Amino acid sequence: MSAADVNRQKRALVDQLRRSQIFRDYAQAFRETTGLPLNLRAQEAFELPHGGDPNENPLCALLRNTNHSCAACLQHQKRLEESAGLAPQSLKCFAGLCDSAVPVRVGENLIAFLRTGQVLLHRPTKAGLRKLTRALLEFGVQTDMKRYEEALLQSRVVSPAQYRSILQLLTIFAQHLSALSNQLIVQEEAQEAPAITRARSFITDHFAEELSLTQVAGAVNMSAFYFCKSFHKATGLTFTEYVARVRVEKVKSLLLNPNKRVSEAAYEAGFQSLSQFNRVFRRVAGEPPSAYRERLHRRHRT
């Protein structure tokens, strides 16, 4: 599969997440509670993250209408996301506004960022207003400087401690979106050939057994070669990768039982050895199974 195809599949998955009820409900609650913008932005998106958001910063809304400052904002966003591949990052722009990106990963693959910010961590000072004016003059903005200064003064101000807590909430939500992404990859059946749908069902019914590509291809009356190509085209995953995701999702559901040992869950889900299980779980879930279980039950205890 080409890099362009992979990127298209990532964007399609992010669109599904963005349309999901859990994201829409969370985004509405987040905006109403914090007063900040929130958007889910696909990796390597080129537009500004909060254009048109109900909580877009008033200064940022003004700057979007000036070409040079808009270009500077795009460069700022690119630098921020380049630094946020592994962990949440924050970065201040020329106006002193803080923007943040929280990575959303599917296993080891980065697919998107939860974006918030356009917020001040301290009330603007006279020195900050002068810095804004100098930057705007450099960008070629010549008119109504007072309007831009007033917009900065209207910006949302939160304390650094409060902002760190906001980012922690987004980090937890990013983990939920990662889990939802895995489920969507496994469950997606729309607009695919009936044979692929039957293959998914066969895998769901037999994932706890030793499964081979030849066995599943035979169950849906296809040659192994043609099934391999068709399955990969329909799901974006190899047969082995798909079965691994199904088994990992089963392990996650089994680990909801606090009395279930990780090793028991692994074997019940069809893994043949613990070393294979640990390797596959880390690749698919993005963390070791022991860390996942600890985080799961820590959340339930609180």
Q: Measuring CA to CA, which residue among 286, 279, 283, 204 is closest to residue 246?
A: 204
Q: Say whether domain 192-301 belongs to CATH 3.30.565.10.
A: no
- Give the pLDDT of the chain (302 residues) as one tens digit per residue: 566 666 777 888 888 899 888 999 999 999 999 999 999 998 877 678 888 788 999 998 888 777 666 677 888 888 898 888 888 999 999 889 999 999 998 877 888 999 999 999 999 998 988 888 888 888 777 777 888 899 999 999 999 999 999 999 999 999 889 888 877 777 654 456 888 889 999 999 999 999 999 999 999 999 999 999 999 888 888 999 999 999 998 998 888 888 889 999 999 999 999 999 999 998 888 888 988 888 776 655 55
Instruction: Note whether 112 and 17 are within 8 A (CB).
Output: yes
| Cβ-proximal residues to 30 (8 Å cutoff; 6+ apart), any chain | 36, 38, 116, 169, 170
Residue 285 structure tokens:
């879930």
Domain extent listing, the chain: 3-183, 192-301
Burial class (CB in 10 A: 0-12, 13-18, 19+), 147: exposed
